[in-house]
Amino acid sequence: MSEQLAKELQLEEENAAFPEVVAVAEGPFITGENIDTSSDLMLAQMLQMEFDREYDAQLRREEKKINGDSKVSISFENYRKVHPYDSDSSEDEVDWQDTRHDPYRADKPTTTPRKGFIGKGKDITTKHDEVVCGRKNTARMENFAPEFQVGDGIGMDLKLSNQVFNALKQHAYSEERRSARLHEKKEHSTAEKAVDPKTRLLLYKMVNAGMLETITGCISTGKESVVFHAYGGNATEDKVIPPECAIKVFKTTLNEFKNRDKYIKDDYRFKDRFSKLNPRKIIRMWAEKEMHNLTRMQNAGIPCPQVVILKKHVLVMSFIGQDQVPAPKLKDVTLSSEDMKKAYYQILNMMQQLYKQCNLVHADLSEYNMLWHDGKVWLIDVSQSVEPTHPHGLEFLFRDCKNVSQFFQKGGVAEALNERELFNAVSGLNITADNEVDFQAEIEALEKMNEDHVQNHGKKLSVFSSDGDPPIYDE
């Protein structure tokens, strides 16, 4: 009973979905009169979809067979018939008309002799002959893009009318363009979690070159970067590869970086280049900036990752942690009060070194970008770090100081300076304002003074004038 009901329901559903199909099957189609062709398009589309699905499945099987377990794989992706599922195809119908190529123009001169006819007397065949034209059209389908399957029309002696040929040709063009666009879209976007094909290739190259042994997995996915863990490979003549590496891939989706423009745009080291670059190159500059800043820090002896290599937007550095486990962020670790105090003085010291020796302000310093490893604090994430004379450099420093002071004051370090004291201790400046608003105003006044100096003398003040060296705080 329920089976019967199910059958009936299904029939009803089918009738609702394809009313014409049923009508055609029962009606005029059999008699050959008044052929209703209104559902032909739908049928053709369904058949095409079916064909495409089978074609893709076969392609996947072949791709799998060729690649096997190889580390480097060949993708057949471009040959897939992905378009039936592509929704944003509405503009295509007009798109092909934009091309300089006139799809209605014959591609090659016809083989009909100049006089325009072959034969003699009664057997004369002109270039307008339907059969000749039809065969010629079939042969011309060979010129369509290779992924456009035209079948063996010539073998079947298929004769295509001009109208059908033109429609097919138009279709072939728009398909070609659509596939190219889809491909491009895919190539140029970075997937949320994984990396885009170009980045993957870069990583594979590093593994193939023996620089990295294996890339084990993802440590972190942030808004602007994805960080992977890898085991280091063989040392080269000029490079020692650490046993464990962190690979920071700067994301090539551009949106997230827009609001970070100010860090790099006003950094004079990158200023000249910034305006001339496209967004893709700007992202490489973030990676480059991180590399330079890490190198400066390394030279000053500040605990931080050591740069291994920079390739485009991929920065390889030493891994802070052990056996694939990254060192915890300061925010995630519970330290004894003794260690907490030790960490505080160490950070105070590092901030001074960063400012004085490296001529840098971290600009994103907080318990999120400090790792606790080997009984000490390590600084990471310095792509946005700037020089103190950056138009907003002192503001960034003040923000860093606020984060550090708050964290350690909350963490029970009684000795922790407040943010204003910390700012003065790091910068060596002596801003006396005793409240945040005035303090901030004085900082901005200093920055403006520096900018005016740049305007008038074309040169930045090397350091803001201070009353001698700041006292070095130590335990």
Among residues 381, 387, 400, 447, the one that binds Mg ion under rule CB under 5 A: 381
CA dihedral 193, 197, 203, 209 (to 10 degrees): 160
Contact characters 232-261, ligand ADP, x per CB under 6 A: --------------x-x-------------
CB of 368 vs Mg ion, minimal distance in Å: 6
288 near ligand ADP, rule: CB under 6 A: no
User: If you write DSSP's letter for every residue of 140-207 in order, what string do you get?
Assistant: HGGGS-TTS---STTTTT----HHHHHHHHHHHHHHHHHHHHHHHHHHHS--SSS--HHHHHHHHHHH
The CA-atom distances, in angstroms, between 324 and each of 225, 230, 232, 306, 314 are: 19, 8, 12, 17, 19
Among residues 174, 190, 369, 424, the one that binds ligand ADP under rule CB under 6 A: 369
CA distance 227 to 309: 15
Specify the stretch interacting with ligand ADP by CB under 6 A; choose among 65-73, 218-226, 281-289, 392-400: 218-226
36 is catalytic: no
Specify the pairing of strand 117-118 against strand 314-318. Answer: unpaired
Choice among 364, 400, 452, 467 that is catalytic: 364
Residues contacting ligand ADP: total by CB under 6 A: 18
348 near ligand ADP, rule: CB under 6 A: no
CA distance 340 to 408: 8
CB of 224 vs Mg ion, minimal distance in Å: 9
Phi/psi of residue 234, each to 5°? -85, 145
Q: Which two tokens stand for residue 15?
A: 């009738």
Q: Which residues contact 96 (CB under 8 A, 6 or more apart)?
A: 103, 170, 173, 174, 177
Q: Which two tokens stand for residue 256?
A: 């997230």
Q: Which is nearer to ligand ADP, 96 or 319 (CB)?
A: 319
> Residue 344 CB: number of other CB atoms within 10 A?
24
* CA angle 288–220–195, rounded 5-degree value: 65
Site for Mg ion in 59-118 (CB under 5 A): none
CA distance 319 to 307: 10
Q: Report the residue closest to Mg ion, judged by CB.
A: 381
Among residues 199, 225, 346, 405, the one that binds ligand ADP under rule CB under 6 A: 225
CA distance 189 to 334: 39
Specify the stretch interacting with Mg ion by CB under 5 A; choose among 116-124, 339-347, 368-376, 404-412: 368-376
Specify the stretch interacting with Mg ion by CB under 5 A; choose among 107-115, 135-143, 332-340, 375-383: 375-383
428 binds, among ligand ADP, Mg ion, none (CB under 5 to 8 A by kind): none
215 near ligand ADP, rule: CB under 6 A: no
Among residues 252, 366, 369, 385, the one that binds Mg ion under rule CB under 5 A: 369
388 near ligand ADP, rule: CB under 6 A: no
Phi-psi region of 39 (alpha: psi -120 to 50; beta: other; left: phi over 0): alpha
Strand partners, 117: 126
Q: Which residues contact 64 (CB under 8 A, 6 or more apart)?
A: none
CB of 191 vs ligand ADP, minimal distance in Å: 16
Q: Which is nearer to ligand ADP, 321 or 391 (CB)?
A: 321
Among residues 134, 153, 232, 326, the one that binds ligand ADP under rule CB under 6 A: 326
Among residues 283, 320, 348, 377, the one that binds ligand ADP under rule CB under 6 A: 320
Q: Report the residue closest to ligand ADP, judged by CB.
A: 222
326 binds, among ligand ADP, Mg ion, none (CB under 5 to 8 A by kind): ligand ADP
CA distance 348 to 76: 55
Residues taking part in catalysis: 364
Q: Which residues bind Mg ion (CB under 5 A)?
A: 369, 381
Given the rule CB under 6 A, which residues bind ligand ADP? 219-220, 222, 224-225, 227, 246, 248, 305, 317, 319-321, 326, 329, 369, 380-381
